[in-house]
Amino acid sequence: MSNNMTDLQAILFDTLRGIKAGTVDLDKAKAINDIGKTLVDTARAENDYIKATGANAGSGFIAPSLPPGSISEATGSGTKTTTQLANGASVTVHKMRG
């Protein structure tokens, strides 16, 4: 399990199927639902933080995080992320705010 939104959705759908099949009791389903809501709320807060600060990445729960060795910085019009590659080259990505 990689602890991302796709995994959460799979767990929630498995729980739903378990309820329908009678293999998951309602107390366990409610606990899974509550944890799922908390994770979604956390992801929403992370997304709001990224928007407010102009950051280029978060924890990787919503979307993949930056590769190791990447440096992200705010520019006058958005963000610039530079990633060093193994062969010594680098890749720079500019994202405009808006």
In the structure, what pLDDT confidence band is assigned to residue 15 with cuts at 50, 70 and 90?
A: very high
Task: Please check the confidence at residue 1 and state whether its pLDDT lies above 60.
Answer: no
Phi, psi of 32 (to 5 degrees): -65, -40
Q: What is the pLDDT of residues 30-70, one digit of tens each?
A: 999 999 999 889 888 888 877 777 665 666 676 656 677 78
Percent above pLDDT 70 for the chain: 82
